Amino acid sequence: MATEEKIAEDTGHRIENMWLNFGPQHPSAHGTLHLIIEVDGERIVSSIPHIGYLHCGFEKLGEHRSYNQFTAIADRMNYLSPMCNDIGWSLASEKLFDVEITERCALIRMIVMELSRIADHMFATGMQAVDIGAFTWFLYGWRHREEIYDILERCCGQRLTTSYSRIGGLMRDMDDTAVEMALDTARRLPKTLDDMEGLLKRNRIWIDRTCDVGSFTTEQALNWGYTGPCLRAAGVPYDVRKDEPYLLYNEVDFDIPIGEHGDVFDRWNVRMEEMRQSARIVQQCCEKLEPGPINTPDNRFHLPPRERLYDNIESMIMHFKQVMFGHGTRPPKGEVYCRTEAPNGELGFYIVSDGTDNPYRVHVRSPSLMQFSAIPEQINGRMISDVVAIMGSLNIIAGELDR
Amino acid sequence: MDDVSRGVNYYKLSAATREQREGDIAIQKRALELLRERFGEAILTVQTVRDDITVTIRPDTLKEMLALLRDSDELKYNFLSSITGIDYMRYDIPEEWGEIRFGVVYNLFSLEKHANFAVRVVIPEGEPVPSIYDMWRTADWQEREAYDLLGIEFAGHPDLRQLFLYDDFEGEHPQRKDYPLKGKGERDRSWLKIQKAARGES
């Protein structure tokens, strides 16, 4: 301080910190994240995050759509793993409607969710590496990511906007070829992951850029509402699949990797290990899968089979009831909160129902919001280059963050 | 219908899951007992939907109640999952809640005991809710979100400003029930403003 005052006296100029816009068009700002940072040289003094560039009013829109229609909105929120959002929404609705699903449906949902988790982690870790400068690395995993998208395409006809899940069932069955493809991918994945890890895990530059960068203690992570790999990297073994099991997660064998320091390296490491565990889950589910119905026998929730439509009056009425506005299935009045483990953390849907066929209020607890809100805590006092490493490690999805 | 009467194989919750669920319900009931002991009359209603308990209160006892849930050794609700603001304008609310407009729901989770709990605060329009920013920092942006979209004030929040909406989106809260889905023409207005500014008019 004394030097600054002296310079000011000598030259008549005051030295001030510079304010810098980081994003929203910065290539490493993952979509539309905007940080205003105050820098002293290259060191960050303070920072203000701004969000909302991608605010679409999904929650407001949900109040004007029926329960099944919102599935299509839910999967546009997270464009890396739309399956997890679809199924998360369906599980929340099923909790509200009090519907049970069939075993085959539960297993298929688990398979597609875990495949999406692998694809999401592959992208998250890959982009993290690209942001730091390791471009080749993510291409190694791209092959499996393409395979996974082929499987999803075979299941529902879409690679990105899947809308696969329905209340009480699925849009259509997963055929044997798709199951074989999933099994094949899950079997070959660990080998690829070993290769990928070998490229980075003991790489000097990688370690320098990631170790002890953005460290979070257990208390900090819990206080800031971190979930998913970022929380587990800080040493908390919280995984909704284990702590509040849904579907059949309690019957498959998998482990929860946890880190120690909560830094960028640990987050990367936890994600790599989680992909292996997801591959294990996919294998077990594929082996358990047996032929059977995928929809609940309660025909209030899905369209009747097409061939029944022409010779059966009940089916025809049910079909019209399903597709006409204001005639859909009505849930009981009440409020439910349902959490699932999405790839970047705990994804929760809070539904308020007033007994009509549209939700009265939909609230999405998106993991990205909590993770981005703690950005100033993590980057203040660090270098500008660390911002890129930290933002990449959080796996923030702007669509879900701004909703 | 004969199509669906074929043998349907429901998935049954495994023994471990069922045990865990029952443990969860037991913890929730214990939490309710403790709250009833200490804040007997402050609790307006207790609702149970699919075994999840929600307690409704007025804002004055909120912080004490959350502190009790968080710090009690039996419960340890140490994780704040989500804060949801709700506009109950067109909702058929229970009589006990009185003349209210908004509700704020705090969904808690106990990482140690694996149990849920939810506390709902109900307020009339214009009355503030105490901010729990000093208890959980994750409340920071979630309270800002409720303030931005619903106009619920949080007393004691250090930086209560808009989160999603842009700065000159004046005085409107789009998540409210009396706000139309298509908007009130703010977009046109701001577009006109931009055009006027480009032409050099005020």
Asked if A222's CB is within 8 angstroms of B111's CB, the reply is yes
User: A296 to chain B nearest CA, in Å?
Assistant: 8
The topology under which CATH files domain B15-164 is Beta Polymerase; domain 2 (3.30.460)
Tracing tokens 């009396």 back to the chain, one arrives at B178
Residues 6+ apart with CB under 8 A from B12: none
Whether residues A102 and B82 touch (CB distance < 8 A) is answered with: no
Q: Do B16 and A250 touch (CB under 8 A)?
A: yes
The pTM assigned to this predicted structure is 0.88
Do B67 and B78 form a contact (C-beta atoms < 8 A)? no
- Gap between the Cα atoms of A166 and A302, Å rounded: 8
Residues of B whose CB is below 8 A from A95: 50
Q: Which residues of chain A have pLDDT under 70?
A: 1, 27-31
Please name which of A334, A328, A301, A368 lies closest in space to residue A64, comparing C-alpha atoms: A328
Q: How far apart are CA B44 and CA B35, in angstroms?
A: 12
Alpha-carbon A277 to chain mean position: 17
- B6 to chain A nearest CA, in Å? 8
Q: Which member of B20, B78, B82 has the closest CB to residue A348? A: B82
Q: How far apart are CA B155 and CA B158, in angstroms?
A: 9
User: Are A132 and A12 found together in one domain?
Assistant: no
Helices (H) and strands (E) in chain A, counts: 17, 8
Smallest Cβ–Cβ distance between A350 and the set B16, B90, B105 belongs to: B105
Examine the domain organization and report whether A26 and A131 are in the same domain: no
Q: What is the pLDDT of residue A199?
A: 86
Under an 8 A CB cutoff, do A51 and B54 touch?
no
In this prediction, residue B30 carries a pLDDT of 86
Residues A159 and A40 in one domain: no
User: A192 and A230 in one domain?
Assistant: yes
Nearest residue on chain B to A305, alpha-carbon basis: B3
In this prediction, residue B190 carries a pLDDT of: 66
Instruction: Compute the radius of gyration of chain B from its Cα atoms.
Output: 22
What is the DSSP-derived secondary structure letter of residue A302?
A: S
pLDDT in 10s for each residue of chain B, 202 residues: 334 333 444 555 566 667 777 778 888 888 888 888 888 888 888 888 888 889 999 998 899 899 988 888 888 888 999 999 999 988 888 888 888 999 999 999 988 888 889 999 999 988 999 999 988 989 989 999 999 889 899 998 888 888 888 877 777 888 888 888 877 766 666 666 777 777 777 5
Name the token pair of A400.
């879900």
For residues A27 and A170, membership in a common domain is answered with no
Tell me, yes or no, whether A25 and A150 share the same domain.
no
- Coil, helix or strand at residue A356: coil
pLDDT of residue B189: 63
What length is written for chain A?
A: 403
**DSSP letter assigned to residue B73:** T
As for how many domains chain A has, the answer is: 2
Nearest neighbour of B3 by CB, restricted to A101, A223, A305: A305
CA angle A11, A16, A18 (to 5 degrees): 135
* Residue B24 forms contact with A (CB below 8 Å): yes
Q: Is residue A304 part of a domain?
A: no
Report pLDDT for B6.
38
Q: Does B192 touch chain A (CB under 8 A)?
A: no
Listed by start position, the domains of chain B span 15-164, 166-202
Q: Which of residues 329-388 of A touch B (CB under 8 A)?
A: 333-337, 339, 346, 348, 350, 352, 354, 360-361, 363, 365, 369-370, 373-374
State whether A345 and A371 are in the same domain. yes
Q: Do A44 and A76 reside in the same domain of the chain?
A: no
Please give the residue range of the domain that contains residue A145.
58-98+100-297+332-402
CATH code of the domain containing A281: 1.10.645.10
Residues A178 and A135 in one domain: yes
Closest Cα of chain A to B31: distance in Å?
Answer: 18
* A375 closest CA partner among A44, A26, A39: A44
Owner of token pair 């800002």: B144
**Together in a domain, A146 and A32:** no
Residue B11: the pLDDT is: 54
**Same domain? A14 vs A89:** no
Give me the pLDDT at residue A211, please.
Answer: 86
ipTM confidence = 0.87
- Closest in A60, A250, A370 to B17, CB measured: A250
Cβ atoms of A30 and A398 closer than 8 Å: yes
Give the distance from residue B36's alpha carbon to the nearest chain A alpha carbon, in angstroms.
Answer: 22
What Cα–Cα distance (Å) separates residue A167 from each residue in A16, A71, A96, A105, A265? 58, 9, 10, 11, 39
Nearest chain B CA: its distance from A373 CA (Å) = 7
Q: How far apart are CA B129 and CA B123, in angstroms?
A: 8
B161 touches A: beta carbon within 8 Å: no
- Residue A317 domain-assigned? no
Residue A322 located in a structural domain:
no
Asked whether residue A33 falls in the same domain as residue A106, the answer is: no
DSSP state for residue A17 in the 8-state scheme: P
Hey, is A261 helix, strand or coil?
coil
